[in-house]
Amino acid sequence: MAISLSRRGFLMRGTLGTAAVTVGLPFLDCFLDTNGTALAATLGGGALPVRFGTWFWGCGMIPERWTPKAVGEQFDLPPQLAPLAAHRKDISIVSGHGVALDGKSNVPHISGNIGFRTGTPMDNWQQIAGPTFDVPIADAIGSGSLYRSLELAADGDPRTTYSYRSATVVNASVPTALDLYHKVFGADFHDPNAAGFTPDPAVMVRRSVLSGITEQRRRLQGMLGAADKARVDQYFTAIREVEGKLALQLQKPPPAAACRVPDKPRELQPNADVAQRRENHRAMAELLAMALACNQTRVFNMAFSIASSDLRQAGEPTAYHQATHEEMIDRTLGYQPAVDRFATLSMEALAEFIAAMAAVPEGDGRLLDNMLIVAHSDVSFAKLHVLTGIPCVFAGKAGGRIRTGLHVTGTDQPASRIALTAQQAMGLSVDTWGTDSMRTNRPITELIAS
């Protein structure tokens, strides 16, 4: 088999001194067997692939209403976590892990999210030092499926995404359930459980055409400056990925017992209204569950709300974000009641998402058992944009690699430990993550199943 090094720039994160560096390394085709499942099968799921995803909500929580007091298996569920009670055995709560700024500014709702996802807080996404932690995971486990990863924005805005390969390469989101349906279950979809399979000659032609373009344009690389070479390389990589997808479409997909082709959802116009947001989110979660069960993707990033959460209740002039800053602390209750309600609603949405994954039977268990979902926010106490103890929930056992039913805490621990833990659980050979005070080589061992 030929090993192509020039057209396939996949990212491996390494370190040089204290600075994170990004190294282009090819992802070799030989990682994939003819069904594209060989690598995934080595990741702990046995015959079933392990999936990974993030779930994001904005504006954090009220610490005394969210953080369990008890640590370990006997953890309590404070009011804002109560919506997750039905999934208590399937989740682990991670508290006390945050973002250290090392003298950098705390740009509200941005620094914390960037720091959580890249291990290096910055003032804006166009300055990030490296990829978000979902990207190397997708490069490692997502390549054998039709979509390396699916980015989903429940707010209906394709610009809402927190998945970045670099400062200029952004993974844009699918904004609605209907868009997701057309993308995954549209004309290119092959039911893995269908009886027969005939390769489509039109797909063969499409693949051949893409290959021709790549060969023709490869000559450009030697004629361009460094910045343009990088962009041409991105172009080649993108073309190659699409070619790979077409190659998969020319093979009979392996059977997926849990796969049930979903019905087409109705068209929704999601906006900041929390009821409409949740409806779009639920529909997207159910479609995503089937996209995972049908082996269309293994990695996803769901944004339930933007970092400075835009959620609002119909008829109320003050939305969630404004409320975090402006709402008086109720002297009787001891907290901001509207903020508390929105934070709890966000956890209700997370519970619905987890339920959608748990509802799909797979093998001897459920789809959720073969997943790791890392849910997190951008801040802890939004009123003051606090970056210590950014709330995080792990859901799913990752094919037996992650322990659930725990509350793990720490004191001013770097959230980069969470990203490192997730990457190692997904089988990546990465031993450090983050820079400066956020640099760590210590995964959260309590979460890793022995």
Site for other proteins in 135-194 (CB under 8 A): 148, 155-159, 165-172, 179
250 binds other proteins (CB under 8 A): no
Query: Which of 430, 365, 424, 374 minimizes the C-alpha distance to 399?
Result: 365
E strands of 271-333, at which residues? 299-303
Residue list 30-89, contact with other proteins (CB under 8 A): 30-31, 33, 38-39, 42
Interface map 391-430 toward other proteins (x if CB under 8 A): ----------------------------------------
Residue from 193, 322, 432, 437 binding other proteins (CB under 8 A): 322
Residue from 4, 18, 21, 74 binding other proteins (CB under 8 A): 21
Per-residue b or e along 23-34, where b marks 16 or more CB atoms closer than 10 Å to that residue's CB: eeebbebeebee
DSSP 417: H
328 binds other proteins (CB under 8 A): yes
Interface map 84-123 toward other proteins (x if CB under 8 A): ---------------------xxxx--x-----------x
- Nearest approach in angstroms of CB 17 to other proteins is 10
Our CB check for other proteins shows the closer of 33 and 446 to be: 33
235 binds other proteins (CB under 8 A): yes
237 binds other proteins (CB under 8 A): yes
Query: Which of 327, 308, 357 minimizes the C-alpha distance to 109?
Result: 308
Q: Contact, 11 vs 135, CB < 8 A?
A: yes
Query: Which of 154, 375, 377, 159 minimizes the C-alpha distance to 279?
Result: 154
- Nearest approach in angstroms of CB 335 to other proteins is 13
3 binds other proteins (CB under 8 A): yes
How many angstroms separate the Cα of 72 from the Cα of each of 20, 86, 94, 398, 447?
A: 33, 18, 10, 19, 10
Our CB check for other proteins shows the closer of 182 and 252 to be: 182
Our CB check for other proteins shows the closer of 206 and 417 to be: 206
Cα separation, 294 vs 370, whole angstroms? 13
Q: Contact, 37 vs 47, CB < 8 A?
A: no
Cα separation, 81 vs 92, whole angstroms? 11
196 binds other proteins (CB under 8 A): no
